[in-house]
């Protein structure tokens, strides 16, 4: 049913132009959690299997737990190595993984509070509060993602019956429902979804009547539009005999063009990461690749340029975060790498060899920057714990002035310039190298003047 091919260039329909998978040389520590001597966090705040979010202007958000007697949960927001807690729950509440759009709006589920629902933090206004409790009767809101229009896609749970829905600020669109909720639905179970700027929801679905949940049931990867129409992206062998896919992992990634990144089980006890729009399947990597030995069970992410990031062990048995497009596969960061930290050079490591050094899934923005969290130790002694660090692996920029990597230099880049050059501690952010118009080795106000003139902006 599927045609497997490689993304050998930038002419693939529906994918934005991209020269190649980025390289990574700069790593920015955003925060470090530890019981004592934390960085950009109060002592005693911890995170483990969180998924750190990053947007196209390198803002970062994530959720944390305060390891105190009250066990508050919190949401952190920042940029370029500075930031702070911007929302704190009441005692014993639950705060889900956060979502972050390109306008600095953070959305997250909060439960075990007087009013459960979706909550927000808005960086431009420094406001936070309840976003919505819709749809009526929802008991849990899972995997909520806010897009640039402020629409939110998520899986709504109605006391055990689930639906993929999106909320636009006033109303809800049901984009798929389980058979237990809608007897006419072909889906017995809806897995963890993803959401994009086209108001599409993608996810793994299990076919069957209500209560038919067994692994022998057919599975598909499907993209649902806000009008309820569906595009089948991939099917397993239980759904279409002879399919190369024997199974699918539960989480997927979705970009704005409707391409879905997913992990699948293959013949020979093999696994692979793929990208598909329903007609073309791109093999990003399998466990037969010379660099990959074991793909982990954490969902991949994809940007609009078709670069997919995922967690896997390498040929040496070390945990890695990889980035690939079907032609090129690169290491973003590897277990035992030495990264910069507030305590000096730090090793990506844990005191126990069996403990994962990375937590949660990874995220990638339009520029190719990758957000992740990892365990840290001194370079020469992994029996000393330095806690967990949230990092941004900064992709090497190509186009001068194109801060947000949208293939042009415009007012949005100008607006980002001043904070970029100034930096939180007076240093120049590595990203700012793209603003070195005069080639003198730094990004300064002479470059800014040239950028202003290019838009006829009064100085």
Chain centroid to CA 373: how far?
12
For 132-147, what is each residue's pLDDT tens digit? 999 999 999 999 999 9
Residue 447 above 70 pLDDT? no
Burial of 142 (0-12, 13-18, 19+ CB in 10 A): middle
CB atoms within 10 A of CB 21: 24
Domain 3-8+21-396 has CATH 2.130.10.10: yes
For 184-229, what is each residue's pLDDT tens digit? 999 999 999 999 999 999 999 999 999 999 999 999 999 999 998 9
In which residue are the tokens 């020469």 written? 380
CB atoms within 10 A of CB 266: 16
- pLDDT at position 441: 63
Residue 417 above 60 pLDDT? no
In which residue are the tokens 């390289």 written? 23
For 255-271, what is each residue's pLDDT tens digit? 999 999 999 999 999 99
Residue 115 above 70 pLDDT? yes
* Structure token pair of residue 178: 């389980």
Burial of 453 (0-12, 13-18, 19+ CB in 10 A): exposed
pTM (global) more than 0.95: no
For 26-78, what is each residue's pLDDT tens digit? 999 999 999 899 999 998 888 878 999 999 989 999 999 866 656 789 999 99
Q: Which residues pair with 94 in a beta bridge?
A: 111
**247-248 and 230-235 strand pairing:** unpaired
- Give residue 164's pLDDT band: very low, low, confident or very high (50, 70, 90): very high
């Amino acid at each position: 049913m599927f045609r497997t091919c490689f993304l050998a260039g930038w002419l693939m329909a529906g994918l934005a132009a991209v020269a190649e998978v980025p390289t990574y040389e700069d790593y920015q520590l955003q925060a470090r959690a530890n019981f004592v001597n934390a960085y950009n966090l109060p002592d005693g705040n911890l995170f483990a299997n969180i998924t750190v979010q990053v947007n196209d202007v390198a803002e970062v958000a994530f959720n944390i737990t305060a390891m105190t007697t009250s066990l508050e949960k919190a949401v952190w927001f920042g940029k370029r190595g500075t930031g702070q807690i911007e929302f704190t729950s009441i005692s014993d509440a639950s705060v889900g993984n956060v979502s972050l759009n390109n306008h600095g709006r953070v959305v997250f589920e909060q439960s075990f509070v007087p009013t459960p629902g979706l909550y927000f933090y808005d960086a431009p206004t420094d406001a936070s509060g309840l976003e919505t409790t819709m749809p009526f009767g929802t008991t849990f809101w899972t995997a909520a993602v806010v897009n640039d229009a402020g629409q939110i896609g998520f899986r709504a749970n109605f006391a055990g019956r689930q639906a993929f829905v999106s909320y636009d600020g006033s109303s809800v669109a049901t984009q798929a429902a389980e058979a237990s909720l809608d007897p006419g639905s072909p889906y017995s179970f809806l897995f963890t979804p993803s959401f994009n700027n086209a108001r599409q929801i993608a996810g793994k679905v299990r076919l069957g009547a209500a209560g038919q949940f067994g692994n022998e049931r057919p599975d598909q990867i499907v993209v649902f539009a806000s009008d309820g129409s569906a595009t089948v992206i991939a099917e397993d062998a239980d759904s279409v005999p002879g399919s190369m896919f024997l199974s699918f992992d539960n989480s997927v990634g979705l970009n704005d063009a409707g391409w879905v990144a997913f992990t699948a089980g293959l013949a020979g006890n093999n696994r692979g990461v793929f990208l598909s729009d329903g007609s073309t399947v791109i093999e990003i990597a399998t466990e037969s690749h010379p660099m990959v030995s074991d793909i982990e069970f954490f969902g991949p992410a994809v940007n609009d340029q078709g670069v997919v990031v995922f967690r896997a062990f390498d040929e040496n048995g070390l945990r890695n975060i990889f980035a690939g497009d079907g032609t090129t596969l690169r290491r973003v960061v590897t277990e035992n790498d030495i990264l910069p930290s507030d305590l000096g050079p730090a090793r990506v490591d844990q005191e126990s060899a069996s403990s994962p050094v990375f937590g949660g899934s990874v995220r990638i923005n339009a520029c190719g920057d990758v957000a992740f969290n990892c365990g840290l130790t001194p370079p020469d002694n992994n029996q000393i714990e330095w806690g967990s660090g949230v990092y941004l692996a900064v992709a090497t920029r190509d186009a001068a002035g194109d801060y947000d990597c949208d293939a042009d230099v415009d007012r949005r880049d100008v607006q980002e310039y001043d904070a970029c050059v100034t930096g939180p501690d007076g240093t120049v952010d590595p990203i700012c190298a793209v603003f070195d118009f005069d080639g003198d080795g730094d990004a300064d106000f002479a470059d800014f003047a040239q950028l202003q003139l290019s838009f006829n902006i009064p100085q």
